Each structure stands twice: as structure tokens, then as C-alpha cells.
Amino acid sequence: MTVTFLPLQEMIRAIRSARTQCEERGVIQRECAAIRAQFRQADNGGRSHNLAKLLYVHMLGYPAHFGQMECVRMIASPRYSEKRVGYLGAMMLLDEKQDASLLITNSIKNDLSNSNQYIQSLALCTLACMGSAEMCRDLAPEIDRLLRASNSYIKKKAALCAVHIVRKVHDLGELFTKAARSLLTEKNHGVVHGAVVLITELCERNSETLERFRKTVPDLVQIMKGLVISGYSPDHDVAGISDPFLQVRILRLLRILGRNNEAASDAMNDLLAQVATNTDSTKTVGNAVLYETVLTVLDIKSESGLRVLAVNILGRFLLNNDRNIRYIAMTSLQKIVGTDHNAVQRHRGTIVDCLKDQDASVKRRALELSLALVSASNIRSMMKELLSFLSSCPPELRSQTASGIFNAAERYAPSQRWHIDTILHVLTTAGGDVRDETVPNLIQLITNTSELHCYTVHKLYRALLSDISQQPLVQVACWCIGEYGDLLLTGECQETEPVQVTEDYVLDVLETVLQSHMSSPSTRGFALTATMKLSTRITENVDRIRSIVSIYGSCIDVELQQRAVEYNALFKKYDHMRAAVLERMPVIEKNSQGHTNGETIKESQTVKVKPGEPQQPANQVQANAAFYTVFSIVATVTVYEKDGVTVTLSCEKQSDSGLTVTLTASNSTESDIRGFTLQAAVPKSVQLHMKAPSGDSLPARGTAKLVFTFADMSEVYETKVSPVTS
Amino acid sequence: MFALVANQKVVIDWPCFWVVLGGSFLPRGVYTVLLFKMQFMLLFSRQGKLRLQKWYVPLSDKEKKKITRELVQTVLARKPKMCSFLEWRDLKIVYKRYASLYFCCAIEDQDNELITLEIIHRYVELLDKYFGSVCELDIIFNFEKAYFILDEFLLGGEAQETSKKNVLKAIEQADLLQEDAKEAETPRSVLEEIGLT
């Protein structure tokens, strides 16, 4: 029988020599037709080639689902070459979402008990790659068996397979605990590595298992010591470090075991110091181990000397020539800037220098860290750097920088004038990237700084003369000119060079804004209102204002039209009230954030209050209120009431980035409750700072209350703080 | 009775805040589940052609294609001197260029980027040893071997064997097994059987 298909390599050559996409498609269609024909035929010895061809075609992006059943058949074949390609096909074409994947469960089961370890290996690899939860449940006992009684080659694979199983079906973790423990004592590096990964996974999923495995800390320390001190071992050596992969894994496990546990942390203290000091940091691989050590030290309850050592290592990383190392140093420093603020401050200079780095990722890290390091003492110099960064930073970082600058300015402004100057600077440089509430916030700030009205309006007027494209700036400027235009006309100003303008000039500027195609509708609204307000602040050109207002009475924009008509009415029918209506605005009080945020959140994310509990204040907690609306009010909710113990939760919004949650526990039983403690967990995007509680025992009859206070030091940017609002 | 009360777990169904009563007090108060996992590895040329894709998470073909397209574009847009790490969606991408091929791994949030670079390097070394001064063409024409080598080095996204020698030995043995199996299967002609050809 003539062979009608090309061998694999010929096909690849044919596809690559196709000059156009169309030609390539033609070749592939012919080949796929041949492959399909071959699939239908009986066993002809070329099956593995066929499937390999199909897999190549699949990698190019063409559909290959018709090969799924062939994979299933090949896996069941007794020939090793066919099994090998069959399993590869399964991993590429079948995933747990495909129904066909269940069909291979039986084959995998059989192959797991095959006498040939390479066949067992294929089954293990496939299960660990694409095993669904069902398959995992079916085959877990087999894996456990292999963990206990097989050679090292299989044991190490079984361990990682068990990791996959535990990730898919958490409950099965219990099954592997005992086997995992005994694997730690083996000599083979691969097996120990697999065991460590498995134990890490088990401890992460179950806190009881974590408790049990704490006892292994001394053994892990021993193994690690062996690796660090041992002589050259050619099999596992990488640039002078003995088995860095295993070292990193052990360090990671130690981190998990030492977290929140004094005893365990103490037991590993010396080892960590040793690794930190002795590891060669001239190559990346040494730095990888040092990095993991630093992460471990910072996460466990290490003594202060060790922490200082770790932060110093990060400081050294910051000065490293390799950009990658600088990047990860900043990532780590970001994590500890809240807790070890002073230590990180020492490296502020280097971090600020990284703002000028070419790489956008490094810039982003440097920005976040710089913003976290701003404090009252360095605000002026930091702001200079940040503002110069803003003028040259990549577009995707501008809005983050602007928000950060505003927050920092609000917190640490040394003077009102500085604050206003800073905001104006941001608006002129990056006006398009600021958030909507910047305009009302700035207006409020200006109103409240009465001594600077003259200065502010002069600055804004000058800004407006040079550029009317930045909408937030134009809006604020129009508003100011409307309010304080009379101060412009006096020709005097203490704080800055006064302008010599006539009323016409001022009105010209406002009219330019009104007529410009660059002005958004809301900006034009601002300009119109400002023009109207000036009618009570100027003396000669009131008629000009009257005519402007009446022109806009027939404007197409409905909002402008409405305003113009109303102002017209003010001129005509209510002239006697005009002065009173348009007089200076009083000082605005800062109202709660919630009322300006109108974002909706999905139903599932609304706060669930137990039925029967008083909703306070009920009328303000709307189903579609934003996250901060709910928590800006001090709402007290009873969250636990059983066996005489009552726990209530109350939240208070402290600032833009902080939320204080207070838990009050009271005891209404006859006897004292001792050893009352609390644990809290939050998602990664939120930082939690838990203060010490007022005590740990609840005396009888609720005579005293226990107060736990959490200050939620969330990251500075609202976009990251709550998943609800983004 | 006190123990009961102290050990009871209460979980409030709040969007982003869980409170658990009982257990030991944590002054630092932060407890996050650390995630370390390699989600996928991609190899692609400087023209954006995919040479190998290994996925360790279940995704539909459509999603895989979308991710591949976007990621390839993002990585190819990077300038030569830039950092090997970038944030993409909620993953960390570690990539390195070797000659005309980009090796790109996606790892989860808490994973160590530097050791991932070492993993990539180890894989390249294995390919190099196996093919003898490997080049892109070797990986194109022998893609299934590249997969077999990867599967002997990583399992479920984790390194399974930290000794280069052992990985290569295992591949060698498996290849031999395949050869033997083929030998046994090829039907030999009658003349061959009696040694006349």
C-alpha cells in the first residue's frame, strides 16, 4: 500500500517553505485530511508519527480536536512510542474541561502500576499536568501507594503529582501527610525536593497540618546546613551553590513554618544568618537564594539583628548593576515599608534615583516605594523629585503619580501656599490624568485659604492665558476668576506679581474658554457661571455679560442653555436679587466621601447584615452604595452571638487609605472566659495592621468589654484598595 | 465550655474581610496564603511564532490563544536592556531571550523570580546538552523531544529533578526504550530474517 502522508519532518519542511499564509493553509489542510484518513484505518505502525504531525499543526494554531480520541487510543496502546506521543497529545489537546479527558483515567491507572518506570512516569506526568478533580480523587490512593513503595525516580514524581492533587482537591491532603513526612529522610535530592514542595502545599492548605509539620524544622535546618556547608557536589552544583533549587524550596517551607511562631523562628535563626552571610552573591543563582532568605527572614518572627541583615541585603541589591536585582529589591522593600519604615528610609536616595531608570517596571516600583516613603520631614525634596518624574513619566503611570502626589500633599503639606502650588503644578503637567474629585477638592481648598485668594487667582489666570486644554485646570481657573475676579482687577497682589488687566481682558479669557472646541461641556458650564458671577464684581462691562448670557440662551447644549436662560431671568426679572445670589461663596465643609462616589457594586458584594439586627443608619445604607459609603458611617453590626458571647463590629473611615475596624466582645455568662483571642485574614490587595487587644479574658456578666482594633493600612491608591470599587 | 467557645470558628460572609475567633493571637495580624506555581511556559521566536507551549492550568483553546497573542506582543515590545520581569494581569512574567528564542514563564504572585530565571536557564542547558549546541531549528523539527525533555525536568509546573545529569540520563533511557520498542515492531522481511539482505 502506498504511503500517502509525509513523514513528520517533511511536513514541517513543507509548511515552513510555504510562501504565503494561503499556501500554508493548503498544505495543512491536505495533511490533516491524510491524518484523519490514517486515524480511521487500522493499526499501521505510523500512528505516533501521525499524532505528532497533528500536534505540530495544533501548535501553529489550527484546530486539532479530531485527534482527541486518537490520543485516548494511543495511550491505551502497549507500545511505548505510541504511549509517549499519546500522553503528550493528551496534555496538549485534552484538558479537564473536555469530556474525553475522563476516558484516559483508566489507562492512567493501569500505567501507574506498570512494571516499567518510564511508563509510570508518563502517567504521573500527565496526571500532574491536566488531571481534573475527579481523576485526582480516583487516583489519589495509587499515588499514595507510589509515594511509599517505589524507587526514587518514581517517588519524586509521585510527590509532585500529589501536590497537584492537593491543589485540585484540598481534602485529599490528609491522605499524603504521613508519606510526605517520611520522604524527608531520603537521600535523593529529587525526592527531598518533591517532599518539601508537597509539605509546603499541605501546610498552606491546612493549619493543623502546619502545626504538625513544625516539628520538622530541625530536620530541615539540618538538610539546609548540609547543602550550604558541604563540599563541591558536581551533580547538583550551579555556579558554586549546591542545589539552589532545593535550597530555595526549603527556605520557603521554613518561612511558612516559622510565620507567627516564636519557637520555630528561633530554631531557624542561626541557619538563616549563616545562609545570608555565606552565600556568594556575584551570580544570579546566589542572589536567588539570598532573595528567598530575605523573604523568609522578613516574614517570620526573626530577631532584630537578622532583620537588619536582611534589609541590608536588599540595600545591596538596590545598588547592583543588574536591573533584575534592583527590581526585586524594590518589590521586597515595598512589602516591608509599613513595618520597617526607618530601615527603608535609609535607602530613599537610591530608590528616588531609580525613578530615572529606563525600564518601565523599575520606574513603577520606584514610584510606589517613593510614595510610601514620603513623610513630613522629606516632603519638600520628595515632591520636587515626584513632580519632575511626573513631567517625564510614561503615560500609564501618570494617573497613579498624580493621585500619589495629591495624597502626599494633603497629608504633609508644609504650608497652604505650597499645597496649592503643588496641585496647580500637577494640573498643568498632567491635567488629563487626574481623578474627577480633584476639581471639587481643589476648589474647596482654595475657598478655605482666604488669605491666598489673590495669589491663587493670579496664578490661575496666568495658567489659563498659556493653555486652555487641560480641563480640570481650566475648570478650577474659571471658578476662581468668577469668584475672585475683582482681586485681579485691583492690580495689587502681595504674594506674586500682579497683572494689569482690564475687565475686558478677563471677560475675553472666559469667552475664549466658552467658545473653544477644546472645552468640554462641563468646562463651558463653569465658564458661563463665572462670567455671570463677574457681573456683580465688575463695574463697566455688565452689558457685555448680559449679551453673552443672552446668546447662550439659544445654545444647543441643554445644560448651557438652561443656565443662560436662568441667568437671563436673573438679569431681567430678579435684578434686585442678583447681588445676593452671586455673592462670594462661604467656606465649604468637607462632606463624607461616600456622597460623591456613585459607583455601583454587584449584588453579591453588598454588606450582609443579619436579619433582625437594626440597620444603622438604615436609610443611608443603599444597595448600590459604594464600599466607602457604608464604612464612612460608624455602623455597628453584631456579628456573633452565641453561648453568651457577643461580638460587634464597627468601622470608621479614618482617611483615604485607612479604615479602622473595632471588634468589641462582651460576655453575658456567669463565668469568666479566658484565652480569648482573635485571628484575621484579608486578601492580598489589602494591608492589615492589627493592634494589641485590650486584654484576653472576658469577665463575667459583660462588665467589661474587650476591644480589638484593626487599622487597615491599605495601599495609598484607591484603585488597588478594594476589589469592590475597581 | 470555655475551650468550645474559644475554638469556635465564625466566618462572616463579607466581601473582603474574614474574622476567625480562637487560636493563637497574632500581633502582626497578617495571614495571607502564599501562592507559588508556574502557570505556563511559552517559547516563541522573534517573529512571534510559537515553538512550544506548556500549560499547567486548565484553560480553553480560545483563552490560551488570547493569552499567547497578548503576551507575545507584550514581551516582543520590550527593549533589550529592560528587566526580565514584568507584571501582566495578576501574574508575574519572567522571560529571557536565548539567541532567536524567547523563553517565557508565568508565575504566581509570591514566587521567586530569580529562581525562575534559573529554571529557564537549566532547561536551555538540558536542550543544549541533548541536541548538541541547540538552535531554534532543532526545536522546530524535534518539538516532541523538546516536550519530553521539559516533562523530565518539570512536573506539574515544579522542578522534579535538580541534577542535570539525572534528567539527561532519564531521557536517554526513555529514548532507548522507544528505539527498542520500534525495533521489535518493525516487520522484517523474510530475506532479512534469514540474513540475506
Q: Is the pLDDT of residue B39 over 70?
A: yes
Task: Tell me if A245 and B115 make a contact (CB, 8 A cut-off).
Answer: yes
**Looking at chain A, which residue has its C-alpha nearest residue B187?**
A45
Over residues A430-438, mean pLDDT: 81
Task: Assess contact for A278 and A227: CB atoms under 8 A.
Answer: no
Shortest Cα–Cα distance, A187 to chain B (Å)? 13
Residue of A334 and A662 predicted with greater confidence: A334
Chain A: residue nearest B151 by CA?
A125
The Cα A699–Cα A595 span in angstroms is 41
Residue of B24, B82, B114 lying closest to A288 (CB–CB): B114
Residues of A within 8 A of B178 (CB-CB) are 80-81, 84
Nearest-Cα distance to chain B for A271, in Å, is: 20
Mean pLDDT of A465-488: 87
Phi-psi region of B34 (alpha: psi -120 to 50; beta: other; left: phi over 0): beta
- Does the interface predicted TM-score (ipTM) exceed 0.90? no
Measure in Å the smallest separation between the Cα of B83 and chain A Cα atoms: 5
Q: What is the pLDDT of residue A629?
A: 34
Can you tell me the distance from the alpha carbon of A698 to that of A669, in angstroms, rounded to the nearest whole number? 10
- State percent of chain A over pLDDT 90: 36
Mutate to test the interface with B, among A290, A664, A679 (most CBs of B within 10 A): A679
Question: What CA–CA distance (Å, rounded) separates A47 from A26?
Answer: 22
CB of A624 closer than 8 Å to CB of A638 = no
Distance CA A477, CA A459 (A): 9
Residues of B in contact with A360 (CB under 8 A): 82
* Cα dihedral A454, A457, A462, A465 sign: negative
pLDDT digits (tens, 9 = 90+) for A381-426: 999 999 999 988 888 889 889 989 988 998 898 888 888 888 888 8
Model pLDDT, residue A487: 85
Specify which residues B101 forms β-bridges with. Answer: B45, B98
Q: Given this model, what pLDDT does residue A435 score?
A: 81
Q: Is B107 left (phi over 0), alpha (psi -120 to 50) or beta?
A: beta
Residue pair A245/A279 in contact by the 8 Å Cβ criterion: no
- Residue A527 and residue B18: Cα distance in Å, rounded? 49
Interface of A with B in 100-139 (CB under 8 A): 116, 118, 121, 124-125, 128-130, 132
A626 has a pLDDT exceeding 80: no
Contact A58, A64 (CB under 8 A): yes
Answer whether residue A566 shows pLDDT above 60: yes
Instruction: Inspect the interface and report whether the beta carbons of A161 and B155 lie closer than 8 Å.
Output: yes
What pLDDT is attached to residue B81? Answer: 83
B25/A696 CB distance under 8 A: yes
Query: What cell was used for A519?
Result: 472645552
Contact B158 A328 (CB under 8 A): no
pLDDT at A455: 86
CB contact at 8 A, B80 and A294: no
Which chain B residues in 10-29 lie under 8 Å from chain A, judged by CB atoms?
A: 10, 12-29
Q: How many angstroms separate the CA atoms of A105 and A123, rounded?
A: 10
- List all residues of chain A from 558 to 577 with a beta carbon under 8 Å from chain B: none
**Mean pLDDT computed over A565-577:** 88
Looking at residue A446, what is its pLDDT?
A: 86
Q: Beta partners for A690?
A: A710
Rounded to the nearest 10 degrees, what angle do helices A262-278 and A304-318 cross at? Answer: 40
What is the layout of strands, in order, in the sheet containing A689-690?
A635-642, A645-655, A658-667, A706-713, A689-690
Q: What's the rounded mean pLDDT across residues A40-63?
A: 86
Q: Does A189 touch chain B (CB under 8 A)?
A: yes
Q: Does B124 touch chain A (CB under 8 A)?
A: no
Which of A97, A120, A125, A358 has the highest number of chain B CBs within 10 A, making it the mutation to test binding with B?
A125
